[in-house]
Amino acid sequence: MDDRVVIALFRHGVTEENKRKAYLGWNDSQLLAETRNQSPLKSYESYFSSDLQRCLSTLNLFFPNQKPIILENFREMNFGDWEGLTYEELKDNEHYRQWISDPVNVFPPKGEAFHEFTNRVQNGWNTMIHTVLTQQLKNCAVITHGGVIRYLLSKYAPEEKEFWSFQVRHDQGFELIFTKEALKGGRRCTSLLEVPLMANDHG
């Protein structure tokens, strides 16, 4: 189908900070060795990535020797003073408890408000879609972060769901399948497929 455009979203591999369940936004963290033994089963025409090293390293592992278009707007939310801290370390902080109860209207100290985050990601998406349409790409892949993928799924998945209802794991991606007209018009995709990562034997 010439009218079909596939956009795949992949979360970066598991990092040391992910393993200890710390907030990891604009800070960075090394990928764990287990990530090196996973890869998608297919390749794509073009690649886009957050500028953070954990995404660029993941892209190099998943799709070696590719030169991605780097978009800073596809960074994770900035958790400010809470970067690198865990729930256990923050649970007695009143400001943190308020944020957990109302993450849309409360934001971390020196961090990013939810509307700032979603506006930034949307701007990144718009930039990417302009490139996709201008270059007449049939498919592309994005290596980014859990929060970014949740926002994009809440905005463009076929079925409308809340941001927090999407589970975005490190061991699978998503393919959003659009018509060109839907993509141009900012409408939802026609179908959504899960893309498992497969263990390889040479990692």
Domains in the chain (CATH in brackets) are: 4-75+113-199 (3.40.50.1240)
Q: What angle do CA 42, 46, 52 make, to 5 degrees?
A: 95
Q: Do 47 and 63 form a contact (C-beta atoms < 8 A)?
A: yes
pLDDT tens, residue by residue, 60-70: 999 999 999 99
For residue 5, what are its two tokens?
């455009």
Lowest mean pLDDT among 106-110, 112-116, 159-163, 175-179: 159-163
How far apart (Å, rounded) are the C-alpha atoms in residues 121 and 187? 16
pLDDT tens, residue by residue, 117-136: 999 999 999 999 999 999 99
How far from chain centre, in Å, is Cα 197? 15
For residue 90, what are its two tokens?
């923050």
Please, what sign has the CA dihedral across residues 113, 150, 61, 176? negative
pLDDT tens, residue by residue, 159-189: 999 998 999 999 899 999 999 999 999 999 9
Average pLDDT over residues 77-100: 97
Q: What is the pLDDT of residue 200?
A: 63
Element (H, E) at 27: none
pTM: 0.94
Q: What angle do CA 40, 121, 169 make, to 5 degrees?
A: 35
Element (H, E) at 202: none
Closest of 145, 115, 130, 181 to residue 53, by C-alpha: 145
Q: In three state form, how does the secondary structure of 113-168 look? A: CHHHHHHHHHHHHHHHHHHHHHCCCCEEEEEECHHHHHHHHHHHCCCCCCHHHCCC
Secondary structure letter of residue 80 according to DSSP: G
Which residues are 144's β-sheet partners?
11
Q: Do 11 and 146 form a contact (C-beta atoms < 8 A)?
A: yes
